[in-house]
Structure formats: structure tokens, C-alpha cells
Amino acid sequence: MSFACVFPGQGSQSLGMLSALAERYALVRETFEIASEALSFDLWNLAQQGPEEALHRTENTQPLMLTAGVAVWRVWRLQGGPMPRMMAGHSLGEYTALVCAGALDFATAVTLVAQRGRLMQGAVPSGEGAMAAILGLEDAQVVAVCAQAAKGQVVEAVNFNAPGQVVIAGHAAAVERALELAKKEGAKRSVLLPVSVPSHCQLMQQAAQRLQSTLAMTDLNPPLTPVLHNVDAEARSEAKAIREALVRQLYSPVRWVDTIQTMSRGGVKTVLEMGPGKVLTGMNKRIDKGLLSVCVQDAESLELALASTQGEH
């Protein structure tokens, strides 16, 4: 197989997501019904009607995005889409990849990521944490800026998303100081992200410890397709190693550039983003212009993706 599948995380959600795909394929709504039953509330209604504030609450967004990715994947397989050479997911999307690779039961994953969201939300009091994207600096410059801005607080480079696009996270005041320094260093642009949780930094250590207890009781199977993990862009097949990577992921950087480069070195020519938003597709094009990147989120993009992987079974 010369293609890979990737799954988006938080930030790709929007009101009305996957409505066009659901009109064509009943399997989308059926997938959301399984998730709604696991959570005891109507996830599809939230995705379509809102309210928007609830849509963006971490504990809701995580099961919502996981379900959206799984729904697209199920339609892909229903329409004869082949298995990819490898998979990955951005942050929360890593759980989606593990479900689609057969390593994690879907309903179990829905409740697991809802809890992950609650633990993350509860780790830092509201307003005390922040995340921001810095554009136009080298990775090493951003790391140096964070070290200089910390002043006894936490601020770290947490998402290496694409060349010249790094996300930082930590205490709100330290993030603000880092943005000032980044501007002086020549950053083209820096923007605070509308999130309530400073993900992937040391402030998530406590949440990670609690998540570890839940993961210890969660059944995991060897993935049918290799899943590259965020912490080091490497695949794992042992349940213990997968659990450990998921725990570390919560307070470690998402190494997305490394992930896409590993795929490319492994012979991948096409990367399909399964789910709404096109966020990863945009980043992937900037990481490796030689890759064909397609976001599968409606009937039209599904047809394009099926055509681009024809003959691969």
C-alpha cells in the first residue's frame, strides 16, 4: 500500500460537520448512535445543532472528533476502500487511528476519550492555561523563546505541526511572554488559540497519571495496520507499549512533522485525512509537497480518495 490514513484532533470540529456525508450514507448516523449510547447523550444533535460552546468543550469535542473519524473510516471501508500502509492521528486523533486499526473497541474509546477530556479540563483551573501558534520561526528558536519566557512557570513547544508552524502551551502569563519574545525574534504571526486546556505540556502530568489508571484496565489488541504514535513517530504492537505512549502523549509534544516524514520514507505517496476540517491536509502539504493529500469528509472527496487508491488491495 502506498497510502496512509490520518485522523484529526481537536480544532477540526464545526457545527454541521459530516452532514453531507450522513445524507448519502446511513452508516454515519449509525456510528454516532453507538457513541451516543456509550455517553448517554445525543452526540449527532450536538454536532449539528450545538450549542457551539458545548461543541468546543474538551470533554465533548474529544468523543465527537473520534466518532467523526471512525464514521468516515467505516464509510471508506463500506465503499471498498483498502487498508492503508500505516495510520496516525493528531493528538486525540491517535485514539481514532487505534480504533480504525482494530486495536481499541469503538464504544470503549468513546468513553475513554470523554474521560481524557474531563481529566485534561480538570488539570488546570480555567483561565490559567493557554495555547498559541507561532508562525515563521525555526523549531529551535521557539524552544529557546519558551525557555527564556518561562521564569519559573511552564511554557513549552508542544505541537511541531509543519515547518515554521509550532504551537506552544503552558501558564497563560508565560505563553504571553513567549509571544512577545517570538515577535522580537521575527515571528511572522502568533495567535492565541481558542482552547480551554494547555495540552501536551508538563501541566498535564497529573491528568496523565489518572489516565494511566484507566488505560491499565482498557483492553488493547495489536493494531492490524501500524499506527505511528505522536511521541516519537514510531509504531507499537504490544498493549503495554501502546498504553505507555498514550500516557506520555498527554504531556509530550506532538511530533507531526516527524510522523509525516516517517510515512514518506516508508513509501507512502498519498495521505488521506479521515474526518472534517482539512487541518492536517494543509499541514501535510507544507511538510512534504511531494505527497498527495486529500481530506475525506463528503461524497465528492470520498470518490476522489477512492480513485487515488484504486488497485491497492
Instruction: Answer yes or no: are the C-beta atoms of 86 and 54 closer than 8 Å.
Output: no
Question: Catalytic: 91?
Answer: yes
Beta strands in 24-153 (DSSP E): 86-89, 129-135
Question: Catalytic: 229?
Answer: no
Looking up cell 452526540, which residue turns up? 43
- 127 forms beta bridges with none
- 135 forms beta bridges with 165, 189
Compute the Cα dihedral for 286, 292, 296, 298 and give only its sign.
positive
- Dist CA 154 CA 166 (whole Å): 16
Q: Which residue among the candidates 90, 200, 293, 301 is catalytic per the annotation?
A: 200
Q: Which residue among the candidates 12, 36, 90, 91 is catalytic per the annotation?
A: 91
| Residue 50 three-state SS | coil
Looking up cell 504514535, which residue turns up? 229
> Could you please report the per-residue DSSP string of 116-143?
HHHHHHHHS-TTTEEEEEEESS-HHHHH
Active site residues: 91, 200
